[in-house]
Structure formats: structure tokens, C-alpha cells
């Protein structure tokens, strides 16, 4: 047995070393993010996610029972963690940092596949510093970033010449889950994936009918992966009567109310000074 184990290690030294490197990258990233984590709570974005998650834990449904301008996935992910581990900001923070550490690991894997281990380690360190500079804990954009990069990582074998269903299907599933965290980012990721697939097949040295056939086949698998992840969750929300409220929260308010709000002119220096003076005077009068 010892001889067989020795032979196995000799045959796969790079595999064993790779596992240690991956573990080290993830471990370093996670500990670094914990060490650099802000100790204050963001009342708006982080608070909204925390409150929404506890409401889901209590049986409420996003959109139908409370306003939400994000996808439902983050609320349900945290609600599941709260159910088993108890509602806690610490649990929410660890979930967020786990997502960020996994993002750094996927960045390493992508760069290691495309370039070299040294370059991948350097980029992973830069990514760790970059992600540590952001607050906005529990913000759904971070799961979206992880899933978008995973979608890219899974589809790389296709661009390397591997003609199998799994890479396209897994890539599509990642995009579908992205849509559940933020529909806008998910749609943008899906369009980006479709564009790169089209560009890949257009650049192939094949006859036009073969290009079209291969592209349509790949697009079908990719779309099926998206549907597998996204459609059941959407159907459940529609089944509990959240359709109208989803339309208002995710489409109407961002496209109309937010647009009007953000188009308001920034006040002039004179107006700011006047408001400050009037506020200070009112404070003196009221004591």
C-alpha cells in the first residue's frame, strides 16, 4: 500500500501541488478579507438585505410582502443560513466574505488556465486588495461577480476545443443563478456570453452551414442552463402572487422613479449656503 501511494504521488505531483496552491489562495483571501473587514454596519444596503432576509425567514415573500429592488436569491440564501445558524450580522458577514474569497479563487483559476501560476497569484493578490476596499457587505453584486466569473471559467474548455455539453450547461446555470441575485447583471452576463459564443463560432474556419449549426446547438444548451436555474424560481414567485409587485419593484421604479430622481440638478453653491444658513438660524431659534 505504501508503495502504491508513493507511485500515485510520483505520477501526480503537479495535481497535489495544485490542490495546496488552491487551498492557500482561498485561505489567504478569506483571512485577509476578515482582517480588513470594516467593523461598522451599512444601514442602507446591508441593513436592507438583513431586514429582508429576516422577513423571508418569517415567511414573507420578496416584492409581494416588502419592497426589494434586488433579486430574491440573496434574501433566501441568508434566510437559510439564519434558520440553521441563527440571525446574526456575523453570519451575514462570513457569507459575504466567503463569496469574495471564492471570487478571488476563481480569478486565480482563470488566469492560471490562460497564462501562468505566477501571474495568477499576482492577480489574486491584487483582487484581494481590490475586494477588501469595498464595504457594502451582503450586496448582491458580489455573488453576481462570482457567478459571472464562474460562467466564464466553465466555458473556457469550449474555447479550447472541447465539444461537450457540460461546459455550456454549467456556464448557463451560473448565468441563471446570477439573474436570481440581480436580474440586470444576469441579463448583461447572458448577453455577453451569447456575444462571445457567436464571435467564437464566426472565427472558426468552417463552412457557413456548419458554423450556424454548431452555434445554434451551443446556444440551445447555454439557454437551457439559464432556464434550468432561473425558470423554476421565477415560477414559484409567480405562483405566490408576486408578479405585479415584481414588475413595479424591478422595472417600473428603477426606470421611472430612479431616473427622475437621478436627473434632478445638483444644487448650486449659493443654494447650499442658503440652506445651511437657514438651518443654523432655525436651530438657534428653537434652542
- The cell numbers describing 67, all together, are 419592497
pLDDT over threshold 60, residue 256: yes
Q: Give me the pLDDT at residue 9, please.
A: 40
Give a yes or no: residue 258 inside a domain.
Answer: no
Give a yes or no: residue 155 inside a domain.
Answer: no
pLDDT over threshold 90, residue 42: no
Domain shared by 108 and 47, yes or no: yes
Domain shared by 64 and 178, yes or no: no
Q: Give me the pLDDT at residue 3, please.
A: 32
Domain shared by 172 and 246, yes or no: yes
pLDDT over threshold 60, residue 205: yes
Give a yes or no: residue 284 inside a domain.
Answer: no
Which tens digits make up the pLDDT trace of 52-73?
999 999 999 999 999 998 899 9
pLDDT over threshold 70, residue 222: yes
Domain shared by 135 and 167, yes or no: no
In this prediction, residue 12 has a pLDDT band, given cuts at 50, 70 and 90, of: very low
In this prediction, residue 285 has a pLDDT band, given cuts at 50, 70 and 90, of: low
Percent of the chain with pLDDT over 90: 59
- Calpha distance 68→63 (Å, rounded): 6
Task: Flag whether the pTM goes above 0.85.
Answer: no
Q: Give me the pLDDT at residue 13, please.
A: 46
- To the nearest 10 degrees (0 to 180), the angle between helices 141-159 and 73-85 is 110
- The cell numbers describing 261, all together, are 430622481
Domain shared by 67 and 123, yes or no: yes
Q: Give me the pLDDT at residue 81, please.
A: 97
Domain shared by 37 and 127, yes or no: yes
pLDDT over threshold 80, residue 279: no
User: 254 or 51, which is more confident?
Assistant: 51
Give the end of a domain, one of 139, 170, 205: 139
Give a yes or no: residue 9 inside a domain.
Answer: no
Domain shared by 107 and 167, yes or no: no
Give the end of a domain, one of 139, 170, 186: 139
- The cell numbers describing 173, all together, are 446555470
In this prediction, residue 1 has a pLDDT band, given cuts at 50, 70 and 90, of: very low
- Calpha distance 153→114 (Å, rounded): 10
User: 168 or 264, which is more confident?
Assistant: 168
Residue whose entry in the numeric block shows the C-alpha cell 488552491: 22
Q: Give me the pLDDT at residue 165, please.
A: 86
Give a yes or no: residue 203 inside a domain.
Answer: yes
Nearest CA to 138 among 81, 187, 177?
Answer: 81
Q: Give me the pLDDT at residue 286, please.
A: 67
- Calpha distance 26→127 (Å, rounded): 12
Instruction: Provide DSSP, 56-97.
Output: HHTT--BTTTB--SS-SHHHHHHHHHHHHH-S-HHHHHHHHH
Lowest mean pLDDT of 31-45, 74-88, 119-133, 222-236, name the range. Answer: 31-45
Give a yes or no: residue 211 inside a domain.
Answer: yes
What is the rounded average pLDDT of the residues 112-130? 92
User: 127 or 11, which is more confident?
Assistant: 127
In this prediction, residue 173 has a pLDDT band, given cuts at 50, 70 and 90, of: very high
Q: Give me the pLDDT at residue 203, please.
A: 82
- Calpha distance 211→207 (Å, rounded): 6
Q: Give me the pLDDT at residue 287, please.
A: 58
User: 179 or 282, which is more confident?
Assistant: 179
Give a yes or no: residue 42 inside a domain.
Answer: yes
Domain shared by 132 and 193, yes or no: no
Q: What range defines the domain where residue 95 resides?
A: 14-139
Domain shared by 130 and 170, yes or no: no
Domain shared by 121 and 27, yes or no: yes
Which tens digits make up the pLDDT trace of 144-161?
999 999 999 999 888 877
Q: Which residues contact 275 (CB under 8 A, 6 or more apart)?
A: 267
What is the rounded average pLDDT of the residues 217-237? 94
Give a yes or no: residue 146 inside a domain.
Answer: no
pLDDT over threshold 70, residue 8: no
Domain shared by 46 and 120, yes or no: yes
Domain shared by 121 and 204, yes or no: no
Number of domains in the chain: 2
Amino acid at each position: 500500500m505504501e508503495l502504491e501511494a508513493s507511485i500515485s504521488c510520483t505520477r501526480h505531483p503537479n495535481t497535489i501541488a495544485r490542490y495546496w496552491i488552491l487551498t492557500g489562495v482561498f485561505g489567504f483571501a478569506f483571512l485577509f478579507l476578515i482582517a480588513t473587514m470594516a467593523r461598522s454596519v451599512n444601514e442602507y444596503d446591508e441593513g436592507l438585505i438583513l431586514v429582508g432576509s429576516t422577513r423571508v425567514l418569517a415567511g414573507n415573500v420578496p416584492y409581494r410582502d416588502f419592497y426589494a429592488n434586488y433579486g430574491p436569491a440573496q434574501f433566501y440564501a441568508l434566510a437559510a443560513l439564519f434558520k440553521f445558524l441563527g440571525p446574526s450580522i456575523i453570519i451575514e458577514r462570513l457569507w459575504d466574505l466567503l463569496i469574495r474569497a471564492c471570487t478571488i479563487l476563481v480569478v486565480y483559476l482563470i488566469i492560471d488556465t490562460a497564462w501562468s501560476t505566477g501571474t495568477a497569484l499576482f492577480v489574486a493578490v491584487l483582487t484581494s486588495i481590490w475586494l477588501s476596499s469595498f464595504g457594502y457587505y451582503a450586496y448582491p453584486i458580489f455573488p453576481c461577480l462570482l457567478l459571472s466569473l464562474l460562467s466564464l471559467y466553465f466555458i473556457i474548455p469550449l474555447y479550447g476545443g472541447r465539444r461537450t455539453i457540460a461546459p455550456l450547461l454549467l456556464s448557463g446555470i451560473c448565468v441563471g443563478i446570477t439573474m436570481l441575485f440581480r436580474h440586470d447583471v444576469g441579463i448583461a452576463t447572458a448577453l455577453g456570453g451569447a456575444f462571445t459564443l457567436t464571435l467564437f463560432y464566426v472565427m472558426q474556419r468552417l463552412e457557413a452551414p456548419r458554423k450556424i449549426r454548431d452555434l445554434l446547438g451551443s446556444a440551445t444548451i447555454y439557454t437551457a442552463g439559464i432556464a434550468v436555474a432561473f425558470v423554476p424560481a421565477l415560477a414559484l414567485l409567480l405562483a405566490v402572487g408576486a408578479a405585479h409587485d415584481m414588475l413595479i419593484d424591478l422595472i417600473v421604479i428603477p426606470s421611472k422613479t430612479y431616473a427622475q430622481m437621478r436627473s434632478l440638478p445638483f444644487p448650486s453653491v449659493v443654494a447650499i449656503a442658503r440652506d445651511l444658513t437657514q438651518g443654523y438660524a432655525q436651530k438657534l431659534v428653537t434652542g
